[in-house]
Amino acid sequence: MAFGQLGSDGTASVSGCSPHLAGEMGWGNSGVWRQDAAAVMDVCLHSEQQQPRHLQEAPCTPDGGLEPAAEGALQEDGTGRRPGDSNEIEPSLRSLQKFVPTDYASYTQEHYLFAGTEIVIQESIESYGAVVWPGATALCRYLEEHAEELNLQDAKILEIGAGPGLVSTVASILGAQVTATDLPDVLGNLQYNLLKNTLKRAAHLPEVRELVWGESLEQHFPRSTFYYDFVLASDVVYHHYFLDKLLATMAYLCQPGTVLLWANKFRFSTDYEFLDKFKQVFDTTLLAEFPESSVKIFKGILKWD
Protein backbone atom coordinates (compact mmCIF):
# COMPACT_ATOMS: atom_id res chain seq x y z
CA MET A 1 0.00 0.00 0.00
CA ALA A 2 2.02 2.93 -1.26
CA PHE A 3 1.11 6.56 -1.58
CA GLY A 4 2.05 8.27 -4.83
CA GLN A 5 3.43 11.62 -5.74
CA LEU A 6 1.55 14.84 -6.00
CA GLY A 7 0.15 15.44 -9.44
CA SER A 8 0.24 18.65 -11.41
CA ASP A 9 -3.20 19.54 -10.07
CA GLY A 10 -2.04 19.19 -6.48
CA THR A 11 -3.92 15.94 -5.82
CA ALA A 12 -2.30 12.71 -4.74
CA SER A 13 -2.73 9.26 -6.21
CA VAL A 14 -2.91 6.27 -3.88
CA SER A 15 -1.98 2.88 -5.25
CA GLY A 16 -4.53 0.24 -4.32
CA CYS A 17 -7.27 2.84 -3.80
CA SER A 18 -9.63 4.49 -6.21
CA PRO A 19 -8.87 8.00 -7.55
CA HIS A 20 -12.06 9.24 -5.91
CA LEU A 21 -10.86 8.07 -2.49
CA ALA A 22 -7.40 9.49 -3.11
CA GLY A 23 -8.96 12.84 -3.84
CA GLU A 24 -10.86 12.69 -0.58
CA MET A 25 -7.57 12.83 1.27
CA GLY A 26 -7.78 16.56 0.56
CA TRP A 27 -4.26 17.28 -0.60
CA GLY A 28 -4.24 20.92 -1.63
CA ASN A 29 -1.70 22.88 -3.61
CA SER A 30 0.47 23.13 -0.49
CA GLY A 31 0.73 19.34 -0.24
CA VAL A 32 -0.98 19.19 3.16
CA TRP A 33 -3.32 16.25 3.75
CA ARG A 34 -6.46 16.80 5.76
CA GLN A 35 -8.24 14.75 8.40
CA ASP A 36 -9.61 12.25 5.87
CA ALA A 37 -6.26 10.46 5.60
CA ALA A 38 -7.16 7.86 8.20
CA ALA A 39 -10.35 7.06 6.30
CA VAL A 40 -8.43 6.50 3.08
CA MET A 41 -5.84 4.35 4.81
CA ASP A 42 -8.74 2.43 6.28
CA VAL A 43 -10.02 1.68 2.78
CA CYS A 44 -6.53 0.61 1.80
CA LEU A 45 -6.60 -1.86 4.67
CA HIS A 46 -9.49 -3.52 2.87
CA SER A 47 -7.80 -3.47 -0.52
CA GLU A 48 -4.54 -4.97 0.71
CA GLN A 49 -4.11 -7.32 3.65
CA GLN A 50 -1.09 -5.85 5.37
CA GLN A 51 1.12 -7.23 8.10
CA PRO A 52 1.54 -4.91 11.09
CA ARG A 53 4.35 -2.42 11.20
CA HIS A 54 7.75 -3.48 12.49
CA LEU A 55 10.85 -1.63 13.56
CA GLN A 56 12.27 0.48 10.73
CA GLU A 57 9.39 -0.47 8.44
CA ALA A 58 6.55 1.72 7.21
CA PRO A 59 3.62 -0.06 5.52
CA CYS A 60 2.68 3.11 3.67
CA THR A 61 5.92 4.21 2.03
CA PRO A 62 5.80 7.04 -0.53
CA ASP A 63 6.60 6.05 -4.12
CA GLY A 64 8.15 9.44 -4.69
CA GLY A 65 8.70 12.65 -2.84
CA LEU A 66 6.21 14.83 -1.16
CA GLU A 67 7.44 18.38 -1.06
CA PRO A 68 9.76 18.47 1.98
CA ALA A 69 9.10 22.14 2.61
CA ALA A 70 5.32 21.80 2.55
CA GLU A 71 3.38 23.52 5.28
CA GLY A 72 2.97 21.22 8.27
CA ALA A 73 5.99 19.10 7.35
CA LEU A 74 8.56 18.26 10.00
CA GLN A 75 11.29 20.87 10.06
CA GLU A 76 14.92 20.37 10.94
CA ASP A 77 14.31 21.36 14.56
CA GLY A 78 11.87 18.45 14.88
CA THR A 79 8.90 20.60 15.78
CA GLY A 80 6.79 20.99 12.67
CA ARG A 81 7.29 24.76 12.91
CA ARG A 82 8.91 26.92 10.27
CA PRO A 83 12.59 27.61 10.99
CA GLY A 84 11.86 31.24 11.82
CA ASP A 85 9.54 30.21 14.65
CA SER A 86 12.21 28.41 16.69
CA ASN A 87 12.27 31.10 19.39
CA GLU A 88 8.65 30.33 20.22
CA ILE A 89 9.40 26.75 21.27
CA GLU A 90 9.19 26.21 25.01
CA PRO A 91 12.65 25.39 26.42
CA SER A 92 11.33 22.19 27.96
CA LEU A 93 10.33 20.96 24.50
CA ARG A 94 13.73 21.51 22.92
CA SER A 95 15.00 18.30 24.49
CA LEU A 96 12.29 16.40 22.63
CA GLN A 97 14.01 16.86 19.29
CA LYS A 98 15.92 13.62 19.78
CA PHE A 99 12.65 11.74 20.18
CA VAL A 100 11.14 12.79 16.86
CA PRO A 101 11.73 10.18 14.13
CA THR A 102 13.43 11.39 10.97
CA ASP A 103 12.40 8.64 8.58
CA TYR A 104 8.98 10.08 7.69
CA ALA A 105 9.04 12.33 4.64
CA SER A 106 6.08 14.44 5.68
CA TYR A 107 3.93 15.28 8.66
CA THR A 108 0.73 17.15 9.21
CA GLN A 109 -0.57 18.87 12.32
CA GLU A 110 -4.13 17.72 13.04
CA HIS A 111 -6.33 19.56 15.54
CA TYR A 112 -8.78 17.90 17.96
CA LEU A 113 -10.96 19.26 20.73
CA PHE A 114 -11.54 17.11 23.81
CA ALA A 115 -12.02 17.95 27.49
CA GLY A 116 -12.30 21.62 26.55
CA THR A 117 -8.75 21.57 25.22
CA GLU A 118 -7.37 21.96 21.72
CA ILE A 119 -4.99 19.08 21.05
CA VAL A 120 -2.55 19.18 18.13
CA ILE A 121 -1.30 15.78 17.00
CA GLN A 122 1.61 15.37 14.61
CA GLU A 123 0.65 12.61 12.18
CA SER A 124 2.15 10.91 9.13
CA ILE A 125 0.52 8.64 6.59
CA GLU A 126 3.72 6.63 6.28
CA SER A 127 2.99 4.41 9.28
CA TYR A 128 -0.17 2.89 10.74
CA GLY A 129 1.21 3.95 14.13
CA ALA A 130 1.40 7.64 13.21
CA VAL A 131 -2.26 8.16 12.28
CA VAL A 132 -5.29 8.70 14.53
CA TRP A 133 -7.84 5.99 13.68
CA PRO A 134 -11.64 6.07 14.20
CA GLY A 135 -11.54 3.93 17.34
CA ALA A 136 -9.24 6.44 19.02
CA THR A 137 -11.55 9.42 18.54
CA ALA A 138 -14.53 7.34 19.69
CA LEU A 139 -12.69 6.27 22.84
CA CYS A 140 -11.66 9.87 23.54
CA ARG A 141 -15.28 10.92 23.23
CA TYR A 142 -16.32 8.18 25.65
CA LEU A 143 -13.64 9.10 28.20
CA GLU A 144 -14.62 12.76 27.99
CA GLU A 145 -18.32 12.07 28.49
CA HIS A 146 -17.82 9.55 31.32
CA ALA A 147 -14.78 10.98 33.11
CA GLU A 148 -16.58 11.48 36.41
CA GLU A 149 -18.30 8.11 36.27
CA LEU A 150 -15.01 6.36 35.50
CA ASN A 151 -13.24 8.35 38.24
CA LEU A 152 -10.24 9.08 36.03
CA GLN A 153 -8.67 11.59 38.41
CA ASP A 154 -5.33 10.06 39.50
CA ALA A 155 -6.32 6.70 37.97
CA LYS A 156 -3.43 4.58 36.72
CA ILE A 157 -3.88 3.87 33.01
CA LEU A 158 -1.88 1.96 30.43
CA GLU A 159 -2.67 2.31 26.74
CA ILE A 160 -1.81 -0.52 24.35
CA GLY A 161 -0.86 0.59 20.84
CA ALA A 162 -0.97 4.29 21.64
CA GLY A 163 0.15 5.34 18.14
CA PRO A 164 0.43 9.15 17.89
CA GLY A 165 -0.99 9.51 21.38
CA LEU A 166 -4.42 11.14 21.17
CA VAL A 167 -6.13 8.78 23.64
CA SER A 168 -3.28 8.98 26.15
CA THR A 169 -3.27 12.77 25.82
CA VAL A 170 -6.99 13.02 26.57
CA ALA A 171 -6.72 10.62 29.51
CA SER A 172 -3.84 12.69 30.91
CA ILE A 173 -5.74 15.97 30.56
CA LEU A 174 -8.66 14.32 32.38
CA GLY A 175 -6.35 13.71 35.34
CA ALA A 176 -5.08 10.16 34.91
CA GLN A 177 -1.56 8.85 35.41
CA VAL A 178 -0.89 7.44 31.96
CA THR A 179 1.65 5.02 30.54
CA ALA A 180 1.50 5.03 26.73
CA THR A 181 3.00 2.03 24.96
CA ASP A 182 3.71 0.96 21.41
CA LEU A 183 6.39 -0.51 19.14
CA PRO A 184 9.83 1.13 19.07
CA ASP A 185 9.45 2.77 15.66
CA VAL A 186 6.62 5.08 16.74
CA LEU A 187 7.75 5.99 20.25
CA GLY A 188 9.52 9.17 19.13
CA ASN A 189 6.44 10.75 17.61
CA LEU A 190 4.31 9.46 20.49
CA GLN A 191 6.63 11.04 23.09
CA TYR A 192 6.69 14.32 21.21
CA ASN A 193 2.91 14.57 20.89
CA LEU A 194 2.26 13.64 24.51
CA LEU A 195 4.61 16.14 26.09
CA LYS A 196 3.71 18.90 23.66
CA ASN A 197 0.02 18.55 24.55
CA THR A 198 0.17 17.73 28.26
CA LEU A 199 2.96 19.99 29.52
CA LYS A 200 1.38 22.51 31.93
CA ARG A 201 -2.05 21.03 31.12
CA ALA A 202 -2.03 17.75 33.03
CA ALA A 203 -1.45 17.00 36.68
CA HIS A 204 0.60 13.95 35.70
CA LEU A 205 2.93 13.94 32.70
CA PRO A 206 2.44 10.67 30.79
CA GLU A 207 5.16 8.07 30.51
CA VAL A 208 6.13 6.37 27.25
CA ARG A 209 7.32 2.77 27.22
CA GLU A 210 8.04 0.14 24.60
CA LEU A 211 5.63 -2.79 24.57
CA VAL A 212 5.82 -5.62 22.04
CA TRP A 213 2.73 -7.77 22.42
CA GLY A 214 3.42 -11.09 24.10
CA GLU A 215 7.14 -10.47 24.60
CA SER A 216 9.03 -10.07 27.90
CA LEU A 217 5.90 -8.94 29.73
CA GLU A 218 6.99 -10.19 33.15
CA GLN A 219 10.42 -8.64 32.65
CA HIS A 220 9.21 -5.18 31.61
CA PHE A 221 5.84 -5.03 33.40
CA PRO A 222 6.10 -7.28 36.49
CA ARG A 223 2.71 -7.68 38.13
CA SER A 224 4.25 -7.25 41.56
CA THR A 225 5.23 -3.69 40.61
CA PHE A 226 2.76 -2.52 37.98
CA TYR A 227 -0.97 -2.26 38.59
CA TYR A 228 -3.41 -0.38 36.37
CA ASP A 229 -6.96 0.75 37.06
CA PHE A 230 -7.62 0.87 33.32
CA VAL A 231 -6.07 -0.65 30.23
CA LEU A 232 -7.06 1.22 27.05
CA ALA A 233 -6.86 -0.01 23.47
CA SER A 234 -8.22 1.43 20.23
CA ASP A 235 -8.10 -0.03 16.72
CA VAL A 236 -5.48 -2.58 17.70
CA VAL A 237 -7.46 -5.33 15.97
CA TYR A 238 -7.18 -5.44 12.20
CA HIS A 239 -5.70 -7.88 9.69
CA HIS A 240 -2.41 -8.93 11.28
CA TYR A 241 -0.83 -12.08 12.63
CA PHE A 242 -0.41 -11.13 16.28
CA LEU A 243 -3.99 -11.26 17.54
CA ASP A 244 -3.30 -14.15 19.94
CA LYS A 245 -0.33 -12.25 21.39
CA LEU A 246 -2.50 -9.13 21.69
CA LEU A 247 -5.15 -11.02 23.65
CA ALA A 248 -2.50 -12.58 25.89
CA THR A 249 -1.05 -9.11 26.54
CA MET A 250 -4.47 -7.70 27.39
CA ALA A 251 -5.06 -10.52 29.86
CA TYR A 252 -1.61 -10.19 31.42
CA LEU A 253 -1.97 -6.46 32.08
CA CYS A 254 -5.32 -6.89 33.81
CA GLN A 255 -5.42 -7.78 37.51
CA PRO A 256 -8.40 -7.94 39.87
CA GLY A 257 -10.06 -4.53 39.70
CA THR A 258 -8.61 -3.56 36.31
CA VAL A 259 -11.08 -2.41 33.67
CA LEU A 260 -10.15 -2.83 30.01
CA LEU A 261 -11.74 -0.38 27.57
CA TRP A 262 -11.37 -1.49 23.96
CA ALA A 263 -12.64 0.56 21.00
CA ASN A 264 -12.39 -0.81 17.48
CA LYS A 265 -13.70 -0.30 14.00
CA PHE A 266 -14.91 -3.68 12.78
CA ARG A 267 -13.64 -4.24 9.24
CA PHE A 268 -12.92 -7.94 8.76
CA SER A 269 -14.37 -11.29 9.79
CA THR A 270 -11.19 -11.82 11.81
CA ASP A 271 -12.18 -8.83 13.97
CA TYR A 272 -15.34 -10.65 15.03
CA GLU A 273 -13.37 -13.86 15.55
CA PHE A 274 -11.11 -11.94 17.91
CA LEU A 275 -14.17 -10.59 19.72
CA ASP A 276 -15.39 -14.15 20.29
CA LYS A 277 -12.03 -15.08 21.83
CA PHE A 278 -12.06 -11.86 23.84
CA LYS A 279 -15.40 -12.83 25.36
CA GLN A 280 -13.96 -16.16 26.45
CA VAL A 281 -11.27 -14.38 28.47
CA PHE A 282 -13.14 -11.27 29.65
CA ASP A 283 -16.62 -10.62 31.02
CA THR A 284 -17.64 -8.30 28.21
CA THR A 285 -20.08 -5.38 28.04
CA LEU A 286 -20.86 -3.31 24.95
CA LEU A 287 -20.62 0.27 26.20
CA ALA A 288 -21.18 2.27 23.03
CA GLU A 289 -21.67 1.83 19.31
CA PHE A 290 -21.16 4.28 16.46
CA PRO A 291 -22.91 2.90 13.35
CA GLU A 292 -21.65 5.69 11.11
CA SER A 293 -18.05 4.55 11.65
CA SER A 294 -18.62 0.87 12.55
CA VAL A 295 -16.85 1.49 15.87
CA LYS A 296 -17.82 -0.39 19.02
CA ILE A 297 -16.52 0.20 22.54
CA PHE A 298 -16.34 -2.73 24.95
CA LYS A 299 -15.59 -3.03 28.64
CA GLY A 300 -13.72 -6.15 29.66
CA ILE A 301 -13.18 -7.57 33.15
CA LEU A 302 -10.75 -10.48 33.22
CA LYS A 303 -12.38 -13.76 34.23
CA TRP A 304 -10.78 -15.33 37.28
CA ASP A 305 -11.30 -19.03 37.91
Those residues whose C-beta lies under 8 Å from the C-beta of residue 280, and which sit 6 or more positions away, are none
Using CA atoms, how far apart are residues 230 and 155, in angstroms rounded to an integer? 8
Query: Phi/psi at 246 (nearest 5 deg)?
Result: -65, -50
Contact of 266 with 286, CB cutoff 8 Å: no
Distances (CA, A) of 132 to 25, 56, 184, 219, 252: 14, 20, 18, 30, 26
CB count in 10 Å sphere of residue 40: 23
Which pLDDT does position 106 carry in this prediction? 80
Which of 82-96, 155-169, 258-272 has the weakest average pLDDT? 82-96
Contact of 103 with 58, CB cutoff 8 Å: yes
pTM reported for the whole predicted model: 0.72
Using CA atoms, how far apart are residues 74 and 189, in angstroms rounded to an integer? 11
Contact of 1 with 22, CB cutoff 8 Å: no
Contact of 48 with 41, CB cutoff 8 Å: no
Mean pLDDT of the chain: 76
Task: Provide the pLDDT confidence category of residue 305 given band limits of 50, 70 and 90.
Answer: confident
Using CA atoms, how far apart are residues 150 and 269, in angstroms rounded to an integer? 31
Using CA atoms, how far apart are residues 124 and 73, in angstroms rounded to an integer? 9
Which burial class, exposed, middle or buried, applies to 181 when counting CB atoms under 10 A from its CB (0-12, 13-18, 19+)? buried
Segment 183-212, tens digit of pLDDT: 998 999 999 999 999 999 999 999 999 999
Of the CA atoms within 13 Å of residue 301, those in its CB half-sphere come to 8
User: For 86-95, what is the mean pLDDT?
Assistant: 45
